[in-house]
Structure formats: C-alpha cells, structure tokens
C-alpha cells in the first residue's frame, strides 16, 4: 500500500488505478468511494504523463480513507486557476483532469513551481447521504497527518507512525525499524503496537515501554511526543536519528534525541518540554528523508493542511534508497477525533 508507483509509461495509469481501488477497499470504503478513487488516480497518472514529464504516485492509508499523492517533474503550472477549469489543456486533451480530481476527492490541494514541478494531494473518504466526508482525527485543535514510503522494491515498510488523540492530548510517534524489509517491519510493528498501550502523557516512559516490547526484534529508533489539550506546549523524548523540528515563519528549532536503540540498551531517558505556539508546525521524519537544513522554502506551506506539508516533504526530500516516514502536526480546527496508526 505504501510503495511508490513510478509513472513513466502508459501502463502506470492502470497500475495507479488498481492500487487506488485496492487501497480504498482495504480502508473499508464502499463501491462509490472506490470508483472515485479509481478516477482520481487515473486522472493523476494521466496528467503526470501528459504534462509532467514523468513522476511518481503514492496511495496510502489516511483514515478515514486513503490519500493519493501525485508528483511530477514538469515545469509547474503557470496559470493554476485556468488549469482548474474544465476544458483547459496544454496538451491537446480534454483538459478535465484537475477539475475532475477536485470534484471527485473529499480534499484536494496542489503545490506547483517552475523549479520543482507539481504535487497534487487528494483524499478519498466514505461520503454520507448528504455528501459530507467523514470527520478527521485531531485533538485540542491540533491536526496531524503522516505518510510513509517503502524502500524501492520492498513489499512492506520498515518505518511507521502513530497518531493517537487521547483525553490527555494528541500523542505522536514516528519510528524506524533498523534496515528495511520484513525484519524492519516486524520491529516497527512491535514499537507501534506497544505505543498504543503506553502512557501518552509520559513520552520518555512510553519509549522505555516500547523498547522492552521490541526486544528480540531488530530494534529501531523513534521519537515520541504529546501535545497536551489546551496548552501551547510540546512534551517529547527521542532515541536515535529520527529528526524532530519546530517550524514557524520566524524560526526553526531542532529537538534533541538521545543516542541509543529501541529494543536494546537504552540510556536514561528524560522528558523535555518546549513551547508550541499556534503559528508552529511540528515535523517528525526518519532518515529516509534528507536532513532538512534550508527550510525557508517550506515556510510558505505553513498555512496548508498537515497532509500537504507531509506530501511535499516526502516527494521532494526522499533519499530514494531507504524506507521513509514524515509526520506533520499543527494547530487547525478539527471537527472530530479518532486514533490511527500504520506499521
């Protein structure tokens, strides 16, 4: 479900459509949503081939449905408003791709530039009779989203995340099973499963607990935190080389992590706390992404949904030789709550 689809030839259109339908079915979506997912994926892959000079797509769980992310290597879209109109095309086609995708999807966003191409981010949910999508998860006005991608050619991902709204606040985990493939997936699965049973108010204690649960596996690294209800505060603890940073228009702050390995010998962990103002985004990512140094170019995304930020970071910063996972959380209105994890 989280393997890249390389879109370089016409056969990729069919593959994207099949993956979208399978993903929607696995997410428990009905035939109507599966059909919409198929059409969105078809339009996205066709646009990549016709206008983008090739690229890649990702179909990923995004409860209460799926996300379809399409990234191309083209010159960007100069007149975006016009491109969204039915009948507009620069390739002699019907030109209904972007407009159709926006109508069919339950959420739609697009980021485009001449230097870095175009990224289209859509979600497909089950719709009620009145046409309203299912509510998103969140806690205390904080919204979060995450995406991950497999090591090339691997059938499973060794990186994982948990987004868990609790009464104490929004608990988050990003972890990386050492290496890649089934053994890494086994380790990250043990870590995420144990995190669901841990105390979310104590990130350091949670990491200690999940480390014990991963004994006997390959082990891994991870970063856990909680955004308490009603507070502009972030409490956190990290082990290993998972990156955590706070990004706002005025500053970038990197959060420290202790050396060590979950599932093995751990240093004495201590919970730390930093302010989390309302204009700030939290970014957690594994080493499958390049180390984020020049972040000024991403500050323009601070007004975008967390899923868009996660998609742009994954598409633009993926190293190409490892599993990858990125999670973004930021204050935004959230109409509902739920818990989700992927491993």
186 lies in the same domain as 326: yes
pLDDT at 137: 55
Convert the pLDDT of each residue in 122-165 to its tens digit.
999 987 644 554 445 556 689 999 999 999 999 999 999 999 99
Domain count, the chain: 2
Residue 239 has pLDDT above 60, yes or no: yes
User: Domain boundary at 125, 156, 178, which?
Assistant: 125
Residue 88 has pLDDT above 60, yes or no: no
Residue 90 has pLDDT above 80, yes or no: no
pLDDT at 295: 81
pLDDT at 20: 98
Q: What is the spatial distance between Cα 18 and Cα 189, in angstroms, rounded to a whole number?
A: 26
- Model's pTM, two decimal places? 0.91
Residue 259 has pLDDT above 50, yes or no: yes
Residue 223 has pLDDT above 80, yes or no: yes
Closest by alpha carbon to 147, among 15, 245, 289?
A: 289
Q: Is residue 247 assigned to a domain?
A: yes
221 lies in the same domain as 334: yes
User: Domain boundary at 125, 150, 170, which?
Assistant: 125
282 lies in the same domain as 242: yes
Region 91-113: what's the mean pLDDT?
A: 79
250 lies in the same domain as 215: yes
pLDDT at 97: 78
Q: Is residue 246 assigned to a domain?
A: yes
Q: What is the spatial distance between Cα 323 and Cα 104, in angstroms, rounded to a whole number?
A: 30
pLDDT at 341: 60
pLDDT at 335: 47
Convert the pLDDT of each residue in 71-86 to its tens digit.
998 888 876 666 666 5
Expressed as residue numbers, the domain containing 200 is 142-342
Place of tokens 């919970």: 271
256 lies in the same domain as 298: yes
pLDDT level of residue 91 (50, 70, 90 thresholds): very low
104 lies in the same domain as 212: no
Please give the structure tokens belonging to residue 173: 């985990």
pLDDT level of residue 230 (50, 70, 90 thresholds): confident
Q: Is residue 131 assigned to a domain?
A: no
172 lies in the same domain as 300: yes
Convert the pLDDT of each residue in 26-70 to its tens digit.
999 999 999 999 999 999 999 999 888 899 999 999 999 999 999
Q: Is residue 134 assigned to a domain?
A: no
User: Domain boundary at 125, 160, 191, which?
Assistant: 125
Please give the structure tokens belonging to residue 36: 């919409």
153 lies in the same domain as 298: yes
pLDDT at 135: 45
pLDDT at 139: 61
Convert the pLDDT of each residue in 161-200 to its tens digit.
999 999 889 999 999 999 999 999 999 999 999 999 998 8
166 lies in the same domain as 111: no
Q: Is residue 234 assigned to a domain?
A: yes
105 lies in the same domain as 152: no
336 lies in the same domain as 262: yes
87 lies in the same domain as 50: yes
Closest by alpha carbon to 104, among 28, 9, 17?
A: 17
Residue 28 zone, left/alpha/beta (φ > 0; ψ -120 to 50; rest): left
From 128-137, 260-269, 289-298, 323-332, the region with the lowest mean pLDDT: 128-137
Upstream peptide bond of 64 is cis (omega within 30 degrees of 0): yes
């Amino acid at each position: 479900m989280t393997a890249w689809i390389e879109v370089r030839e016409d056969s990729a259109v069919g593959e994207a459509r099949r993956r979208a339908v399978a993903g929607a079915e696995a997410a428990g979506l009905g035939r109507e949503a599966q059909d919409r997912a198929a059409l969105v994926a078809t339009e996205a892959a066709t646009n990549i081939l016709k206008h983008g000079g090739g690229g890649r797509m990702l179909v990923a769980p995004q409860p209460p449905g799926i996300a379809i992310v399409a990234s191309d290597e083209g010159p960007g879209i100069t007149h975006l408003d016009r491109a969204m109109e039915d009948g507009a095309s620069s390739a002699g086609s019907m030109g209904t791709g972007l407009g159709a995708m926006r109508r069919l999807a339950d959420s739609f966003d697009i980021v485009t530039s001449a230097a870095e191409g175009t990224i289209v981010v859509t979600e497909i949910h089950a719709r009620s009779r009145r046409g309203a999508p299912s509510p998103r998860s969140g806690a205390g006005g904080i919204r979060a989203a995450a995406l991950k991608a497999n090591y090339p050619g691997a059938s499973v991902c060794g990186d994982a995340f948990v987004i868990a709204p609790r009464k104490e606040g929004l608990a988050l985990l990003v972890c990386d099973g050492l290496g890649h493939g089934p053994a890494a997936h086994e380790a990250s699965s043990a870590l995420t499963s144990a995190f669901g049973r841990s105390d979310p108010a104590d990130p350091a204690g949670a990491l200690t607990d999940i480390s014990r649960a991963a004994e006997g596996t390959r082990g891994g690294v991870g970063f856990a935190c909680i955004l308490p209800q009603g507070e502009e505060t972030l409490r956190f603890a990290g082990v290993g080389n998972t990156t955590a940073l706070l990004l706002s228009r005025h500053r970038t702050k990197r959060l420290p992590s202790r050396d060590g390995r979950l599932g093995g010998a751990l240093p004495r962990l201590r919970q730390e706390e930093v302010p989390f103002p309302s204009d700030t985004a939290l970014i957690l990512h594994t080493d499958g992404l390049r180390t984020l140094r020049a972040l000024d170019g991403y500050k323009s995304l601070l007004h975008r949904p967390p899923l868009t930020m996660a998609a742009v970071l994954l598409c633009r910063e993926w190293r190409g030789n490892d599993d990858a996972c990125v999670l973004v959380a930021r204050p935004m209105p959230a109409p509902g709550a739920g818990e989700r994890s992927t491993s």
